[in-house]
DNA sequence: GTCGTCCTTGTAAACGATTACAAGAACGAT
DNA sequence: ATCGTTCTTGTAATCGTTTACAAGGACGAC
């Protein structure tokens, strides 16, 4: 015996399919009708088929959140915020992961045309014209949690990296650190580029020259550790053979928390104390920042708020597809912990 | 102009809808037919509607992975493994999160009847008869990544917690630690219960008495920290007024990595050195274990392999729904890092 | 030339829901 | 008693696919 359908319920209740559908959707019906249908539904254990329903009504009541890397704790913060907003609005949230390649992101956005969900929040690492084009042409509303050109004409919620960088640099400066190094992620990514520029500007504004800057191969812990190694090796070498503390920076800023934690491991391996010898600042202020040891001072780029606002933007656009695109930028704060003096 | 359908393509190509569908699905057709249809598809930018398709064929080519807490790094390991297997088999993976309540899990499993996906991998924290019943009656195949009674008759892949505990205890013993404390998660959860029993058995087998055991309110970092506080306070009090090191355990085993890291923070706050004063062992061997400082010795309960096997089991059952349920248990190993001597 | 076979293509009926429209019932007002 | 209004219910069309079935064409064998 296969799954009951609305027709089966109708038969069991001795009413028409239309009536069944009506009581199921809370449309007006007599008490007796409601009673009979609900009894039949109970009896048969009927559950409506969402595919059929969404085919007819043109909505799935599902929303998709696409992130590049589930291993990056900044996304769990964002995910929680998005989940909260969309579930309050009666949507299911499904999460998919795209990986670092822009082509996969384009494929995902194009794929939305298949009708998987009513909307998409995407946080792309890399952005190119193809991706922007696919977003503009997407069948369903898309909001970008990240930075795309205003000319793209899409809803976005982004962080203010430059200001975040300024917070970091000035905090270090206030603590008397001036030999500041920077470990970025890949500079061909959107956040990587933004942070590179933000860091350069912040340093210039404070009349500082970076003691070194290295680019990790991605935004992961392993890459951070490797970048830390490279950073410290280079510095030791550049000092004409001097080794160890003398040549080391007295502070390093990392483009995200995973990188920062990787760097702290490398510092520890070289017996450099954090924050006594080297202060470390991360970015994202993810759960990892408080879990790391020492707890990591981190620039809070507002990932929770970005998630929340992105979700709200998406819901608003689903409601009214003609509204003019908004570009929200959320302001950073600094969460000071023990990795800085 | 709205989205093109197969009818639109058929009109544009001057052929029938059946022919369009056939070439789209790779069924035999003349070269010319294929040519014309593909041209029309290109021209109109046609993308098939997966809702309609799956309504007709009864499959969605989506699989769901449901986890309790996206913030727990053990799930990212598992998620990666599942993703790899299912995408290789041509399925999309969607991830949803259930929260800690069993009723939400039941709702999710029941909800699968709506046709969201062709199968489900679920890793429930808490299991009751309702949940088992819902799994057995589920319209789509379900495999449980976790422990449910054999009588439930469902495919499961689970860890061997008792053996894992034995690895942990014996490692500590080999290092000369005998004052072993245990921090568990909620004992009304499946992993909590398994680890409680595993720990007790392992201690007994080695003729040891636990110096203390506390139960955290959940499996999170914050709960670990709080449990660490409670543990150390209790011990200090129980020692008749003596404070600090003398009363402390010389080793702590935690039921997962998040708890372990929380405990390490509390130890640090009390100037207890890891591993010199207190050794710490976590479980799950998640990414957090290598990211923490000092890197955490952790019992690898095989989350990646569990994910992989669970996904394979699911695919196999989708293939053949009559096969007899399998119960796979994957064996633990110990990843020794610097939190133990 | 006729017939049978095989191959390609088209027509129309599903899949399981929602909903426009029509029909019937109930009821009060005239 | 008749009519009009309102309210409830049923019939049937529809969403965008796939696919069973039938029809037509090509071709070789007799």
pLDDT at B1: 62
| pLDDT beyond 70 at B240 | no
Please tell me whether any atom of strand C lies within 7 Å of the Cβ of A7: yes
Cβ–Cβ below 8 Å for A94 and B96: yes
CA-based torsion, A18, A24, A28, A30: positive or negative: positive
Cβ–Cβ below 8 Å for A293 and B268: yes
What span, in angstroms and rounded, lies between the C-alpha atoms of A220 and A228?
Answer: 12
What span, in angstroms and rounded, lies between the C-alpha atoms of B236 and B21?
Answer: 74
What span, in angstroms and rounded, lies between the C-alpha atoms of A215 and A232?
Answer: 13
Protein A30 CA to nucleic acid D1 C1', in Å? Answer: 29
Give the residue with minimal CA–C1' separation from D13.
A56
Give the residue-averaged pLDDT of A166-179.
Answer: 96
pLDDT at A236: 72
Nearest nucleotide (CA of B3 to C1') = D16
CA-based torsion, A142, A145, A151, A152: positive or negative: negative
pLDDT digits (tens, 9 = 90+) for A111-151: 999 999 999 999 999 999 999 999 999 999 999 999 999 99
CB-based contact B329:B313 (threshold 8 Å): no
B3 pLDDT tier (thresholds 50, 70, 90): confident
CB-based contact B166:B205 (threshold 8 Å): yes
Mutation site for A-interface testing, chosen from B8, B51, B56, B218 by largest number of A Cβ within 10 Å: B51
pLDDT at A1: 61
Give the residue-averaged pLDDT of A73-98.
Answer: 95
Q: With contacts defined as CB-CB under 8 Å, which chain B residues touch A76?
A: 70-71
- Residue A56 has a CB neighbour count (10 Å cut-off) of 11
Protein B23 CA to nucleic acid C7 C1', in Å? Answer: 15
Q: Establish if B92 touches chain A: CB-CB under 8 angstroms.
A: yes
A window 212-241, beta carbon within 8 A of B: 221
Give the residue-averaged pLDDT of A311-331.
Answer: 96
Q: Is A48 left (phi over 0), alpha (psi -120 to 50) or beta?
A: beta
Mutation site for B-interface testing, chosen from A44, A81, A291 by largest number of B Cβ within 10 Å: A291
Nearest to A65, CA basis, from A298, A323, A303, A291: A303
- Residue B35 has a CB neighbour count (10 Å cut-off) of 13
Nearest nucleotide (CA of B53 to C1') = D17
Strand partners, B155: B143
| pLDDT beyond 80 at B241 | no
Q: Which nucleotides of D are covered by protein (CB under 7 A)?
A: 7-20
| pLDDT beyond 90 at A3 | no
Cβ–Cβ below 8 Å for A139 and B287: no
pLDDT digits (tens, 9 = 90+) for B24-65: 999 989 999 999 999 999 999 999 999 999 999 999 999 999
SS3 A327: strand
pLDDT digits (tens, 9 = 90+) for B319-339: 999 999 999 999 999 999 999
pLDDT at A240: 44
- Give the closest-approach CA distance of B179 to chain A in angstroms: 25
pLDDT at A48: 96
pLDDT at A246: 58
Please tell me whether any atom of strand C lies within 7 Å of the Cβ of A48: yes
- Give the closest-approach CA distance of A190 to chain B in angstroms: 24
- Interface size A-B, in CB pairs within 8 Å, comes to 113
A237 pLDDT tier (thresholds 50, 70, 90): low
Protein B56 CA to nucleic acid C15 C1', in Å? Answer: 4
pLDDT at B182: 98
pLDDT digits (tens, 9 = 90+) for B72-98: 999 999 999 999 999 999 999 999 999
Q: What percent of chain A has pLDDT over 70?
A: 96
pLDDT at B273: 96
Q: What percent of chain B has pLDDT over 70?
A: 96
Out of A234-243, A314-323, B122-131, B147-156, pick the least confident.
Answer: A234-243
DSSP state of B246: G
Q: With contacts defined as CB-CB under 8 Å, which chain B residues touch A115?
A: 49-51
* Nearest residue on chain A to B73, alpha-carbon basis: A71
pLDDT at A249: 93
DSSP notation for B200-218: HHHHHHTT---SEEEE-SS
Mean pLDDT of all residues in chain A?
Answer: 94
Please tell me whether any atom of strand C lies within 7 Å of the Cβ of A80: no
- Give the closest-approach CA distance of A102 to chain B in angstroms: 18
B242 pLDDT tier (thresholds 50, 70, 90): very low
Kindly report the length of chain B: 341
pLDDT at B286: 96
Cβ–Cβ below 8 Å for A292 and B290: no
Q: Establish if A44 touches chain B: CB-CB under 8 angstroms.
A: no
* Nearest residue on chain B to A4, alpha-carbon basis: B113
DSSP state of A284: S
- Give the closest-approach CA distance of A201 to chain B in angstroms: 31
Q: A5 burial class (0-12, 13-18, 19+ CB within 10 angstroms)?
A: middle
Q: With contacts defined as CB-CB under 8 Å, which chain A residues touch B95?
A: 70, 94-97
Nearest nucleotide (CA of A113 to C1') = D16
Please tell me whether any atom of strand D lies within 7 Å of the Cβ of A29: yes
| pLDDT beyond 90 at B243 | no
| pLDDT beyond 80 at A242 | no
Protein A14 CA to nucleic acid D5 C1', in Å? Answer: 28
């Amino acid at each position: 015996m296969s799954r009951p359908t609305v027709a089966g319920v109708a038969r069991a209740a001795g009413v028409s399919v239309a009536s069944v559908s009506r009581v199921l959707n809370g449309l007006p019906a007599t008490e007796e009708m409601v009673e009979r249908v609900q009894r039949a539904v109970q009896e048969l254990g009927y559950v409506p088929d969402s595919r059929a329903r969404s085919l007819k009504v043109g909505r799935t009541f599902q929303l998709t959140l696409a992130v590049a890397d589930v291993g990056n704790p900044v996304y769990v913060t964002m995910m929680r915020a998005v989940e909260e907003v969309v579930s309050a609005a009666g949507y299911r949230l499904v999460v998919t992961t795209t990986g670092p390649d822009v082509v996969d992101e384009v494929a995902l956005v194009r794929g939305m045309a298949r009708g998987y969900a009513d909307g998409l929040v995407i946080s792309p690492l890399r952005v190119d014209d193809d991706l922007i084009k696919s977003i503009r042409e997407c069948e369903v509303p898309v909001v970008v949690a990240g930075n795309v050109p205003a000319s793209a004409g899409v809803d976005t919620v982004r962080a203010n990296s430059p200001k975040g960088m300024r917070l970091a640099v000035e905090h270090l400066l206030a603590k008397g650190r001036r030999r500041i190094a920077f470990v970025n992620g890949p500079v061909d990514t959107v956040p990587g580029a933004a942070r590179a520029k933000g860091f350069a500007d912040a340093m210039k504004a404070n009349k500082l020259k970076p003691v070194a800057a290295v680019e990790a191969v991605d935004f992961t812990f392993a890459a951070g550790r490797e970048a830390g190694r490279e950073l410290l090796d280079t510095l030791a070498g550049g000092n004409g053979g001097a080794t160890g503390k003398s040549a080391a920076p007295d502070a390093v800023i990392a483009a995200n928390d995973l990188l920062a934690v990787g760097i702290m491991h490398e510092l520890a391996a070289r017996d450099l104390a954090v924050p006594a010898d080297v202060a470390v600042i991360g970015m994202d202020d993810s759960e990892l920042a408080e879990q790391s040891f020492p707890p990591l001072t981190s620039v809070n780029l507002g990932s929770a708020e970005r998630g929340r606002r992105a979700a709200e933007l998406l819901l608003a656009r689903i409601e009214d597809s003609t509204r003019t695109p908004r570009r929200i930028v959320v302001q950073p704060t600094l969460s000071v912990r023990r990795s800085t003096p």
